[in-house]
Chain A
Amino acid sequence: MAVMRINVGPVHPSTHGVLRLVVDVDGDEVKHVETHIGFLHRGVEKLCETRMYMQNPSYFEKLDYMSPMSWDELYVAAVEQAMGATVKPDAQVARTILLEFQRIANHLLWIGTLANDIGQMFTVFMWCFRDRSYVLKLLEDVAGSRMFYVNMRVGGLHSQLPGDFIDRSYTLCDIIEKNVAEYEKVLDRNEIFLERLRDVGVLSREDAINYGVSGPVLRASGVNEDVRKSKPYYIYDKVLFDVPVKNEGDAYARYRVRYEEIFQSIRIIRQALEMLPKNGGDVLGAQVKMISTPAKPDIVVARRELPKGEGLIYMVPDKQKPYRVSLRAPGFVNLAVLPKLCEGGKFADIFAVFGSLDIIFAETDR
């Protein structure tokens, strides 16, 4: 049969974002995939060069609107390194808790949309949204807004934690732990879910490293690599947690890694809450307008384990504005491996594979 070329998009092929694929198919078998990105390109790196340091965090939040606080924190951490500022001890604990809650919110949304994409319609999706909304409510009460927090300041947070923060966090951990355990009954015993994910989009260990994928995608291919373990920041070296690693490298393994990460995040949060003083401690950060020249290093490299993978900022600081900010967006790298995963598979599997990578286009295109 002759090879046929199909254009997919530019629409949402799965969820959140705009992607165009040009797919060559022979019958139902995918021969070649070409990705076209850039529909959401806003020139964030260039914009950052024209704004003062603390005018930029809101741009970073829009890079990944499923976990805005993670990018916010990564950028502020880079600014802190440029200034030589230290983060208050209580604020380190508080940031860890908030980041892990953000990770849970991100993974919940991802599980819901993945289940939606591959035919487990709406039940799990609504459950995930329900549980995510509990998390967002807590983050809203901490930061003041539901999605884009802009909550990080140099050395701490923009305001003290609310008085009932610790009690509510404990309750929330219990609720999430109980609810998320239920997903397993619906998903992992669901024949359709398993058939669509197992042995689909297999990425070998060697390829995963060579293609430079990161985060859950890398760990699902058998590489034990997590910035929280390999270069611990904040209190990650003081809390006990495991890094879920799977060897199969297929879409199902990527789902399992993220699913188990939710429970590890809850474990981290519970330990971190015990380190926090009863009144929430002093977490207030400073309002910084510019960086004085003597403290200026030549370059700053900040690395963080974002929910979607490894985030990195390479910054050349200058006095008032950053001279250059370069971002390593996990989605940018993880998406580059999509053609490799899809070729040789079925056309319908493209969307299962794409969904399993957890791509968000705002950070891919920047």
Chain B
Amino acid sequence: MKRSGFDYLNKITAVDYVQYLEVVYILYNTDTKAQEIVKVKLPAERPEIDSVMDLYKAADWYERELQEMFGIEVKGREAKRLLLEEWDGVDPPMRKSFAWGGDYRKV
């Protein structure tokens, strides 16, 4: 992708479809102004994905966010601490299975 001119990584995010996880890369070409979305399907159990840090430095914080919020292990990059919070052994909060009592209608 990068060789074909998509030099700008706009965003990495993930969606939890319960049966599987989907990691989404939004790429952008600063010359032709074209946008491309790449989706990668991952199993819900023990998801792993390769890092794209060597291609796009912008991936650093997004990949740390994936590790923290979705529990996706990103391989091939130096381990860094979690990005936003120092969670203490809780489930990845952005997964749909995350138990939370924040629904005001149930309180």
Contacts and interface: CB of A to CB of B under 8 A. Distances in A.
Interface of A: 37-38, 41, 43, 45-47, 50, 207, 209-212, 223, 225, 230-231, 299, 301, 303, 310, 312, 314, 316, 323-324, 326, 328, 332-333, 336, 365
Give the one of A310, A324, A332 with max B CB within 10 A. A324
Contacts of B56: 210, 212
Given A210-B57, A314-B26, A324-B16, A50 B102 contact: yes
Contacts of A37: 83-84
Contacts of B16: 324
Q: What class of interface size applies to chain B in its complex with A?
A: 20 to 34
Nearest to A227: B33
A328 B11 contact: yes
Nearest to A332: B61
Interface string B66-107: 000000000000000001110000000110001010110000
Given A212-B57, A212-B58, A333-B61, A230 B33 contact: yes
Contacts of A314: 11, 13, 24, 26
B85 A38 contact: yes
Contacts of B49: none
Contact of B26 (A210, A312, A365): A312
Contacts of A41: 84-85
Contacts of B98: 46
B8 A209 contact: yes
Nearest to A212: B58
B84 A365 contact: yes
Contact of A301 (B14, B26, B85, B100): B26
A45 B65 CA distance: 13
Contact of B30 (A211, A225, A299): A225
Contact of B103 (A50, A231, A365): A50
Contact of A212 (B10, B35, B83, B103): B10
Interface string B1-42: 000000111110111100000001010001001010100000
30 contacts: A38-B84, A43-B93, A46-B93, A46-B94, A47-B102, A50-B102, A50-B103, A207-B57, A209-B8, A209-B30, A210-B7, A210-B56, A211-B57, A212-B9, A223-B30, A301-B35, A301-B37, A310-B10, A312-B10, A314-B11, A314-B13, A314-B26, A326-B14, A326-B24, A328-B26, A332-B61, A333-B58, A333-B61, A336-B58, A336-B61
Contacts of B8: 209, 212
A300 to B, nearest CB: 11
